[in-house]
Amino acid sequence: MLKIYGVYRSRASRPLWLLGELGLPFQHVPVIQAGRLADATAPDAPLNTASPAYLAVNPLGQIPCMEEDGLTLTESLAITLHIARLHGGALGPRTEAEDALMVNWALFAATAIEGPALEIQMIQRAGGDITPEGQAAIGIAAERLRRPFARLERHLASADHLVGDRFTVADLNTAEVVRYAESHRPLFDAHPAVAAWLDRCQSRPAFRQMMQHRLAEPE
């Protein structure tokens, strides 16, 4: 059976959302980030990214991780693309061209959006957005996002989805990366097609269920 390691408050949200979309049976092992624990090495510490048992699975000590039929994957976007190819039905690629486009959008999200979007989220979570320095840093990160958001805006102005005429793993992967910046509303006000697309993605029942699990976990 397919196994996913990682808590919902991590990039494991990506494969966990996808598995919810598919209704696919799987085993969930809730490995928590070591940095979120007072003492990750304590005898009573929960399974975490510094636990020897988990490092035997993924020596990088990162989550998520997937195991299935002797295959181990340690990158969230590779995991979702693999699951979609093998089990995804309409959420996966129907042609080689669609497969290439799904990989392209995943790499675009990871390289062009994730870094500055995460920076915005981390500054705001730490309360830094109320300081001049934090506001300046958010402004710089948002400026770095304008070009990739403009790329998304052009595509979504004439299409409801990123690949084909349906919701696919390309939308899921990219939406989960774009989500990091969603609290910076000026960016979305300037890109209404992106905002509408993200709302469509996040209105799906499987996303809402994933977020319920995520919010139920301790911060």
**What value does the mean pLDDT take over residues 86-105?**
97
Residue 8 lies in a domain: yes
Give yes or no: residues 155 and 187 share one domain. yes
For residue 28, is pLDDT > 90? yes
Same structural domain for residues 111 and 200?
Answer: yes
| pLDDT score of 62 | 97
For residue 174, the model assigns a pLDDT of 98
Mean pLDDT over all residues of the chain? 96
On whether residue 212 sits in a domain, the answer given is no
Task: Fill in the DSSP letter of residue 179.
Answer: G
**Tokens standing for residue 33:** 């980030």
Residue 64 and residue 157 in one domain? no
Task: Read off the pLDDT of residues 35-62 as tens digits, 9 standing for 90 and up.
Answer: 999 999 999 999 999 999 999 999 999 9
Full domain range(s) for residue 53 = 3-87
Task: Say if residue 172 is in the same domain as residue 112.
Answer: yes
End position of a domain, from candidates 87, 119, 153: 87
Residue 14 sits in a domain whose CATH number is: 3.40.30.10
Does residue 94 register a pLDDT over 90? yes
Residue 64 token pair: 């998520």
Last residue of a domain, one of 70, 87, 104: 87
Whole-angstrom distance, CA of residue 200 vs CA of residue 169:
14
Question: 189-209 pLDDT, tens per residue?
Answer: 999 999 999 999 999 999 999
Nearest to 92 by CA among 24, 10, 155: 24
Residue 215 — pLDDT band, cuts 50, 70, 90? very high
- CATH of residue 128's domain is 1.20.1050.10
Inter-residue contact 76 to 11 (CB < 8 Å): yes
CA–CA separation, 189 vs 157, rounded Å? Answer: 14
What contacts 171, CB < 8 A, 6 or more positions away? Answer: 161, 162, 163, 197, 201
| Residue 202 one-letter amino acid | Q
Say if residue 79 is in the same domain as residue 107: no
> Same domain for 30 and 126?
no
Residue 218 domain-assigned (yes or no): no
Of 87, 108, 123, which residue sits at a domain end? 87
Give the model confidence (pLDDT) of 123-173 as tens digits. Answer: 988 877 778 888 899 999 999 999 999 999 999 999 999 999 999 999 999
pLDDT of 118 > 90? The answer is yes
Q: How many domains does the chain have?
A: 2
Residues 110, 14 share a domain: no
